[in-house]
Amino acid sequence: MLKLLEEGRLVMNRCNQAKTDFNNQTNLRAVAYEGLSKWAVRIVGELKASGVLPQTEDDAQTIVRKLQGYRPQQHASEMINATETPAAPKIRRALGLDFANMAQHFEELILLVASEPAYQPEAEELSVASLSLKLNELREANTRVINAATIWSVTRRERDTTLYVGAKCLRVIGNAARQKVKALFGTSSEEYREIIKIRFRKPKGIQ
């Protein structure tokens, strides 16, 4: 039982450490993505100033809206019906926007400006080379979060197995030990009264 207790402490420590690392990586990723939308707006501003085609500007604006989590705005001409009054164009929050999608949309914007020779921003951080470095930073942040989440998931399974699941888990052995004390000393004994309040319960959701 002492060995099982020590194993339980160790696996709890590993699980807590894995959770802390996951939280830290998640926070670092949030910092990496902070201000990305405003950065994209600056890129589009530089693109417009370079004198590209209006259609190219529209393509860039569409990417920025996706990056911000909005669906492209529907053109009024597409909503006009011969028997209906056109409704006001709506912008709806896009579904499924996450960090991976944001990185993908940011890459689309980089590819677009990279294809325009006239895009030559004065601000170094808006250059194609700097934007590519930023994209790599975002992807690396995503990868670190995924790896940390995987480790946390594995340690949670180890914790659950050690503490709650199987015939040799701490929960089963602990309950068996309590029954053994009751059988040996009786329910009115001091030994049993010392452990009667100890409960070994499996949390909901653990199979």
Write down the domain spans for the chain.
30-141
User: Stretch 34-60: mean pLDDT, rounded?
Assistant: 92
For residue 144, CA distances in Å to 67, 98, 100, 118 come to: 21, 15, 12, 36
**Nearest one of 74, 69, 104 to 90, comparing CA atoms:** 74
Could you tell me if 105 and 63 are in contact, meaning their C-beta atoms sit under 8 angstroms apart?
Answer: yes
User: Stretch 48-55: mean pLDDT, rounded?
Assistant: 92
- Per-residue pLDDT at 203: 73
Instruction: Tell me if residue 77 falls in helix, strand or coil.
Output: helix
What count of other Cβ atoms lies within 10 Å of the Cβ of residue 32?
A: 19
> From CA 207, how far away is CA 201, in angstroms rounded?
13
Locate all alpha helices (DSSP H) within 164-204, ordered by sequence.
170-185, 190-195
pLDDT by residue (tens digit) across 126-175? 999 999 999 999 999 999 999 999 999 999 888 888 877 777 777 777 77
